[in-house]
Amino acid sequence: MNSPVAPNSFRTGPDTEGMFGIFGGRFVAETLMPLILDLEEHWKVARTDPAFKAELDHLNTHYTGRPSPLYFAERLTEHLGGAKIYFKRDELNHTGSHKINNCLGQILLARRMGKTRIIAETGAGQHGVATATVCARFGLPCVVYMGATDVERQAPNVFRMKLLGAEVIPVSSGHGTLKDAMNEALRDWVTNVEDTYYLIGTAAGPHPYPELVREFQSVIGKELRDQMMAAEGRLPDLLVAAVGGGSNAIGLFHPFLDDASVKIVGVEAGGKGLDGEEHCASLTAGAPGVLHGNRTYLLQNEDGQIKDGHSISAGLDYPGIGPEHSWLKETNRVEYVPIMDDEALEAFQLLTRLEGIIPALEPAHALAEVVKRAPKMGQDQIIVMNLCGRGDKDIFTVGKILGMGL
Amino acid sequence: MTTRIDRRMADLKAEGRPALVTYFMGGDPDYDTSLSIMKALPKAGSDIIELGMPFSDPMADGPAIQAAGLRALKAGQTLKKTLQMASDFRKDDDATPIVLMGYYNPIYIYGVEKFLADAKASGIDGLIVVDLPPEMDGELCIPALKAGINFIRLATPTTDDKRLPKVLENTSGFVYYVSMLGITGSALPDTSKVAGAVARIKGHTDLPICVGFGVKTAEQARAIGASADGVVVGTAIVNAVANVLGPKGEKTADPAEAVATLVSGLAQGVRSARLAQAV
């Protein structure tokens, strides 16, 4: 493939067909097409409606607790001895991760569309918890599909969803992880298309989902611009975020895509290493293909069959990636790198001990990349990492690996 | 251009009866058995064959076809082998239309141009690709039509009169009306609603309308065949195969014979459809 000419702006996508270059699109069954077109119409109206924005802003402020703080990690910076490290603390949001930003936006859309039942897929359970939360808040029934493997390794989140009144349906097909949960959610949607809204948790799926999820998550990057100007009077030199489906990352990155001085790095789950099958690095080790409504980089074999990924982090355990990330990779605007399970685990412990913050295993991957890069950068340089989730849900997984009985 | 599908549909129209369209999963439970099932279909009364291309993530399929696809993949089925199966079938049957049915990714990875050339050479007459709506026609539909292969579109209860023209625009061969909202193999709704839906679509096209999703018995086939130009049966056939497989996938009886018995009954159903209507 020839390397494409850099566009004038990296912030204008997708086009009217929902494409980011060759990525994205609407690869869905006909049953869903009318609904997706209807969603697009409602989204077009809502995104420019001041009343919609006001309602979402109000909820973001008073329900989620936004803006999330920008925190200077003084001891970590000192420890690594290089660039100044800041965290965008979306783990302090209500429900414990960035997922709530998207769920509030989409539940308002679902209400506008007159839908009376919400379904969602979840991997780590963070999106499931956020969805169950907004459903409780707005009094709508909620069904969450979750891979059977994930149900087991994310038991605290399963319990939280149930407390919030959601029905959690374990999915045992495939490896019983996020991909399989998404298949099952799509099957539910096809069956109950008339009254059901599918609240997708990441910036993937058929158009307009990648765009609207990005817009709801971009609150992260927009706040950061202002907070950074206030703290340092200039833009950061490097942004780092973990990418599973890629919603927290695109939310952080998007407002900075046209700032050439800002280097941007997405961190994928390298699992047990890219040589074998046990990783989830779709961008680094996958190839473009079509799954779950969009064309994007996928882990697949030479016959186009999708592989099951592996990661210590259930939230990164997805063999695909949002289509905009595929495009940002191909245009070389964003660099994507893998971090292995053991590196993430080490970063998890480092942050816990040095800053008194227990990160989720997903941002622990991003942190491991920061640990590699910060010492090589000057002390006058600035890194911002999206601390997109808290690690309470992961203590059992980590405890088991570290041999600490719980 | 006329294809085997066009010719078969014209013949059946002259005969005054609907078509029996039978779906089976290519490579389930293994290549040789699957080929013997395919060969048994026309002999048992199938008019058009839908050859399923297995995919790891069949988002519009129920548990039966999901399991069949996984069995086929486990037995080593690939898109290349599915095309080979059509070629092998064509050695003794040059009349029965073959429609490949499945999902886009394996075709995309195979390469659209190469796929169409190989499909044509293997005697494939039509394609049903579940995750390519008309909005994505540039991907495969238009190239397929240029290559002389029918692109058969699904219309569903959510495809309203405003959308139907777009769905029908590049459709050829026949229209596959999915009789319900849902995945393959679910319960069939009221057959009387099907007649109304067929009449509605006929108001927009001269193409034959075949109806499927949920048809399991000869009686249902007869009832649907009273108004539709064809009746599609899939999950029931896939189940007939699964029913003669033991817990480890071993054959407890001949799958081809099990399928033939089922299809013979369904064939009687569609052949009596218009007679029943006339009475």
pLDDT tens digits along B246-275:
999 999 999 999 999 999 999 999 999 887
Q: Amino acid identity, residue A269?
A: A
What is the least distance, in Å, from the CA of B14 to any CA of chain A?
31
Tokens representing residue B8 in the block: 């078969």
A191 contacts B183? CB cut-off 8 A: yes
Residue A357 included in any domain? yes
Using only C-alpha atoms, chain B has a radius of gyration, in whole angstroms, of: 17
Structure tokens at A7: 């566009």
User: At which of A192, A213, A234 does a domain end?
Assistant: A213
Do residues A83 and A120 share a domain? no
Q: Could you tell me if A265 and A334 are in contact, meaning their C-beta atoms sit under 8 angstroms apart? A: yes
Give the pLDDT of residue B190: 75
Q: Is A3 a residue whose pLDDT tops 80?
A: no
Domain contains A278: yes
Residue A1 has pLDDT above 70, yes or no: no
Q: What is the structure's pLDDT at A335?
A: 98
Amino acid sitting at position A218: S
The answer to whether residue A275 sits within a structural domain is yes
Helix axis angle, A361-373 to A341-355, nearest 10°: 90
What are the two backbone dihedrals, phi and then psi, of residue B93, each rounded to the nearest 5 degrees? -145, 110
Is residue A116 domain-shared with residue A159, that is, in the same domain? Answer: yes
What are the C-alpha distances in Å from A378 to residues A77, A84, A374, A381, B64?
A: 11, 9, 8, 5, 59
Q: Are residues A224 and A85 in the same domain?
A: yes
Q: What's the pLDDT score for residue B279?
A: 45
- A158: domain CATH number is 3.40.50.1100
Nearby residues of A37 by Cβ (< 8 Å), 6 or more positions away: none
Residue A270 and residue A282 in one domain: yes
CB contact under 8 A, B159 and A190: no
Bridge-partner residues for A198, per DSSP? A119
A364: which 2 tokens? 């622990």
- Map residue A331 onto helix, strand or coil: coil
CB-based contact, A293 to chain B, within 8 Å: yes
Count of Cβ atoms closer than 10 Å to residue A284 Cβ: 16
In this structure, the answer to whether residues A352 and A235 fall within a common structural domain is: yes
Which residue in the block uniquely carries the two structure tokens 């999950």? B235
| Contact (CB, 8 A) for A385 and A89 | no
Read off φ and ψ for residue B113, nearest 5 degrees: -65, -45
* A359 and A323 fall within a common domain: yes
Whether residue A306 lies inside any domain: the answer is: yes
Chain B hits for A293, Cβ within 8 Å: 131
The one-letter amino acid at A301:
N
Report the domain count for chain A: 2
Sheet holding A196-198, edge to edge: A167-171, A142-147, A117-122, A196-198
* Phi then psi dihedrals of residue A115, to 5 deg: -80, 145
Among residues B127, B174, B178, B177, the alpha carbon closest in space to that of B148 is found at B127
A38 and A162 together in one domain = yes
How confident is the model over A360-405, as pLDDT tens digits?
Answer: 999 999 999 999 999 999 999 999 999 999 998 889 889 999 988 6
Residue of B nearest to A29 (CA): B131
Give the pLDDT confidence score for residue B107 in this predicted structure.
98
B57 touches chain A (CB under 8 A): yes
Residues A71 and A53 in one domain: no
State the pLDDT at residue A209.
98
Bridge partners of residue A143, in order along the sequence: A119, A167
Residue A175 touches partner B, C-beta closer than 8 Å: no
One-letter amino acid at A200 equals I
Q: Which helix (H) or strand (E) holds B127?
A: strand B126-129
H or E segment and range at residue A169: strand A167-171
Residues B48-88: tens digit of each pLDDT:
999 999 999 999 999 999 999 999 999 999 999 999 999 99
Of B59, B110, B155, the CB nearest to A30: B155
pLDDT tens sequence across B116-165: 999 999 999 999 999 999 999 999 999 999 999 999 999 998 899 999 99
Of the residues A15, A23, A36, A190, the best mutation for testing chain B's interface (the one with the most B CB atoms within 10 Å of its CB) is A190
Give the model confidence (pLDDT) of A68-118 as tens digits.
Answer: 999 999 999 999 999 999 999 999 999 999 999 999 999 999 999 999 999
Tell me the β-bridge partners of A158: none
Q: In what order do the strands lie in the sheet with A335-340?
A: A70-72, A84-88, A382-386, A238-242, A263-271, A335-340
Flag whether A11 is in a domain: no
| Per-residue model confidence as pLDDT tens digits over A267-301 | 999 999 988 888 999 999 999 999 999 999 999 99
Q: What pLDDT sits at residue B191?
A: 78
Q: Which of A213, A237, A259 is a domain's end point? A: A213
Looking from the CA of B199 toward its CB, the CA atoms found within 13 Å total: 7
Task: Answer whether B181 sits within 8 Å of A31, measured CB to CB.
Answer: yes
- On whether residue A1 sits in a domain, the answer given is no
Closest Cα in chain A to B133? A30
Residue A174 has pLDDT above 80, yes or no: no
For B4-278, which CATH superfamily applies? Aldolase class I (3.20.20.70)
Q: Is the distance from CB of A312 to CB of A345 less than 8 angstroms?
A: yes
Q: What is the nearest CA distance from B153 to chain A, expressed in angstroms?
A: 9
Is any Cβ of chain B less than 8 angstroms from the Cβ of A353?
no
Identify whether residues A88 and A171 lie together within a single domain. Answer: no
Span A229-253, mean pLDDT? Answer: 97
Of the candidates B47, B61, B118, B125, the residue annotated as catalytic is B61
Q: Alpha-carbon distance B174 to A377, whole Å? A: 64
Query: For residue A13, is it within any domain?
Result: no
Residue A29 has pLDDT above 60, yes or no: yes
Interface check A34 vs B, CB under 8 A: yes
pLDDT (tens digit per residue) in A344-364 = 999 999 999 999 999 999 999
- Choose one of A153, A178, A213: the last residue of a domain: A213
Domain segments of chain B as ranges: 4-278
Q: Are residues A229 and A366 in the same domain?
A: yes
Interchain proximity A306–B73, CB inside 8 Å: no
**Exposed, middle or buried, A230 (CB in 10 Å: 0-12/13-18/19+)?**
exposed
Asked if the model's pLDDT at residue A406 lies above 70, the reply is no
Q: Which residues of B touch A29 (CB under 8 A)?
A: 59-60, 130-131, 133, 154, 156
- Model pLDDT for residues A210-235, shown as the tens digit of each residue: 999 999 999 999 999 999 999 999 99
In a domain, A40, yes or no: yes
Q: How far is CA A44 from each of CA A16, A47, A51, rounded to the nearest angstrom?
A: 11, 6, 14
Statement to judge: residues A150 and A247 lie in one domain? no
Q: Which two structure tokens, joined as six digits, stand for B243? A: 């029913």
The mean predicted confidence, pLDDT, of chain A is: 95
Supply the pLDDT for residue A4: 58
Range of the domain at A270: 67-96+218-401
Local confidence band at B179 (pLDDT 50, 70, 90 cut-offs): confident
Asked about B50 being catalytic, the answer comes back as yes
Q: Which residues of B touch A289 (CB under 8 A)?
A: 105, 108-109
Does A52 lie in the same domain as A83?
A: no
